[in-house]
Structure 1
């Protein structure tokens, strides 16, 4: 009986070319793009490159015509439309070029170029980072507990490693986490967050815009209401950000317009706390002037956002979780200068115990 093999048979020249392409892809020593296959090694590849280059050249010609048309247009709505169309066409003219894709894959980015900005934002939105963030934001009810909704337009990253000692990076009995690029929703020990993190807010607009940063804890117990209230750990308005200006340094001292960073201090006997960073765009180009700094205790995020018109579209969000350990006592003593509270479930009512704690006899 004749048995048919399911293995595919390729021409010898195709096999050799495919091997050469694989070897080239695995090489990480290259510092500049080089065509992976020499002309003639694989005719199909040559035709694909020719087609891509032809399409790019045709679109570049349209870009030149749009540039000339834009120079003749005044400051009006029509000019704004032309600028958007021009940027879209510039992206389309370069996004399929092998060199552009190779540079992006190898981290050789020039964010002054529309195509690199577009690819960076597309990677953030489509390759899992934004999905993981929002999945955990909704799973842990950060939204809607703090704000009714938020649709991020920037990639907010948190780095706690720069200011910590080796002992603080991985305290005893703590599972190690990546403190250089913290994952949303992970547990961090109070020692690991005792110093302000360095933040990177990757926005995708070229112009400089102002943002306000809030760091809040919505899980602080309130004995008066027998519920929880929100505590402000940091408030910082008027942060200038652009695609090339992304670093944020948190204030280490309070001023007329900012509240310094207070390290997380989850109270003993409470469930985990959700330490949340909100980076909200200011709708006005003028700096935000706070008439008075809010109280850290019982802070109303929604009212603050509405009052200062920070409820525009977009922004950024990030959070991690924390629970009490022995190091919290040091924060209360040295940073807050307050007695450390302790919480727990109220004792179960026993009808047979009097006010003095004496149990009455069951039978008389």
Structure 2
């Protein structure tokens, strides 16, 4: 690494996390060397590297810009120290929360222009340390630029909103996949899945963009397309119900292992989608709620004719995220029904008048 690049706060990890640095030494050297002595890392051929010439003036401008940005970071950390001192002495809980919010924002400001952080945020998104506010900031911006809009578009175009709940102001990124069949891919909202793919519970990841330490969550998976012949309409079936699920920035996953270790999380066991023949595509909506306290009086919740709006009102739950996939009858559906001890599905036909 060139000695002309400042070695101040961004090189000091006594109080900063090592995750704010690049692990790959070669990349780090290339990123922080103003004159790129070996050429850009994108150049693979030795001849190309030998012919490379750094842009005129870069070796003078880069260290100066780095030094200015690093000094801004130093100033932010000085303000953070003063705020931490105030937090430790104040007894006012409201003031503590305000000061902590300010501290979180300053932690973002202190690292947002760090070249190593920027590189990690753009090229190592799957391994980011989500306990660091600056990485959560970058993840949130990426989510808002695409995934958030896609999810809302699917929820509204498929009429999950308002057929289940009236509205949603997304605060978290809800991702799901079904790893039991070795398909290690995240499901895009609105995807039509086979009965084999959904025969076992999904793995859920709830990505918080705020500081999260052991927050509690409720998850409801509902199908609003269950035929109701008595009323010549449709009813909602609760396919899965989780409560008091403890998650954090470090541990955002709900999987089979966690449910086995915490059997109290599941108040309604997972029932896979098993649409009856000729009932069309069923929407399976996964709603996520952040709890203020532990839920009570949910053991008597009925799976059939589930009223999700009443449930959320009774338990003071406000949705913070959602996902949706679809299911339709296929040749494997009856096998899934048999596995779960369900009666044979009906076959619906049109009546000719």
Distance 1:44 1:31, change over 3 A: closer
Please tell me whether the aligned partners of residues 33 and 102 of structure 1 are also in contact (alpha carbons under 8 angstroms).
no
- Runs of at least 5 residues in structure 2 that lack an aligned partner in the other structure: 1-22, 36-53
Please tell me whether the aligned partners of residues 213 and 278 of structure 1 are also in contact (alpha carbons under 8 angstroms).
yes
Counterpart Cα distance in 1 of 2:264 and 2:82: 52
Counterpart Cα distance in 2 of 1:305 and 1:268: 31
Q: CA deviation at 1:155?
A: 1.3
Please tell me whether the aligned partners of residues 103 and 109 of structure 1 are also in contact (alpha carbons under 8 angstroms).
yes
Counterpart Cα distance in 2 of 1:257 and 1:290: 13
Please tell me whether the aligned partners of residues 226 and 237 of structure 2 are also in contact (alpha carbons under 8 angstroms).
yes
Q: CA RMSD in A?
A: 2.5
Please tell me whether the aligned partners of residues 257 and 293 of structure 1 are also in contact (alpha carbons under 8 angstroms).
no
- The aligned counterpart of 1:66 is 83
- What is the aligned counterpart of 1:221 among 216, 227, 230? 227
Counterpart Cα distance in 2 of 1:269 and 1:293: 32
* Residue aligned with 1:163, SS: helix
Counterpart Cα distance in 2 of 1:337 and 1:87: 50
- What is the aligned counterpart of 1:117 among 121, 136, 148? 136
Distance 1:31 1:111, change over 3 A: farther
Please tell me whether the aligned partners of residues 31 and 116 of structure 2 are also in contact (alpha carbons under 8 angstroms).
no
Residues 1:91 and 2:86 are matched in the alignment: no
Q: CA deviation at 1:75?
A: 3.6
Residues 1:46 and 2:63 are matched in the alignment: yes
Q: CA deviation at 1:91?
A: 1.2
Q: CA deviation at 1:31?
A: 7.0
Distance 1:73 1:184, change over 3 A: same
Higher helix share: 2
- What is the aligned counterpart of 2:300 among 285, 293, 297? 293
- The aligned counterpart of 2:149 is 131
Q: CA deviation at 1:140?
A: 0.6
Distance 1:72 1:37, change over 3 A: closer
Please tell me whether the aligned partners of residues 273 and 323 of structure 1 are also in contact (alpha carbons under 8 angstroms).
yes
- The aligned counterpart of 2:191 is 186
Q: CA deviation at 1:291?
A: 5.1
* Residue aligned with 1:316, SS: strand
- What is the aligned counterpart of 1:145 among 163, 186, 193? 163
Counterpart Cα distance in 1 of 2:266 and 2:339: 24
- Runs of at least 5 residues in structure 1 that lack an aligned partner in the other structure: 1-27, 170-178, 349-364
Counterpart Cα distance in 2 of 1:257 and 1:193: 18
Please tell me whether the aligned partners of residues 257 and 290 of structure 1 are also in contact (alpha carbons under 8 angstroms).
no
Residues 1:157 and 2:175 are matched in the alignment: yes
Aligned residues: 303
Q: CA deviation at 1:130?
A: 1.1
- What is the aligned counterpart of 1:278 among 287, 291, 310? 287
Please tell me whether the aligned partners of residues 194 and 263 of structure 1 are also in contact (alpha carbons under 8 angstroms).
yes
* Residue aligned with 2:67, SS: helix
Counterpart Cα distance in 1 of 2:300 and 2:255: 19
Residues 1:230 and 2:247 are matched in the alignment: no
TM-score by structure 2 length? 0.78
Please tell me whether the aligned partners of residues 280 and 316 of structure 1 are also in contact (alpha carbons under 8 angstroms).
yes
Counterpart Cα distance in 1 of 2:197 and 2:117: 39
Distance 1:80 1:295, change over 3 A: closer
Counterpart Cα distance in 1 of 2:32 and 2:263: 60
Please tell me whether the aligned partners of residues 274 and 319 of structure 1 are also in contact (alpha carbons under 8 angstroms).
yes
Counterpart Cα distance in 1 of 2:116 and 2:346: 60
Counterpart Cα distance in 1 of 2:217 and 2:250: 15
Q: CA deviation at 1:44?
A: 3.2
Please tell me whether the aligned partners of residues 188 and 320 of structure 1 are also in contact (alpha carbons under 8 angstroms).
yes
Please tell me whether the aligned partners of residues 278 and 347 of structure 2 are also in contact (alpha carbons under 8 angstroms).
yes
- What is the aligned counterpart of 1:34 among 12, 29, 37? 29
TM-score by structure 1 length? 0.76
Residues 1:80 and 2:97 are matched in the alignment: yes
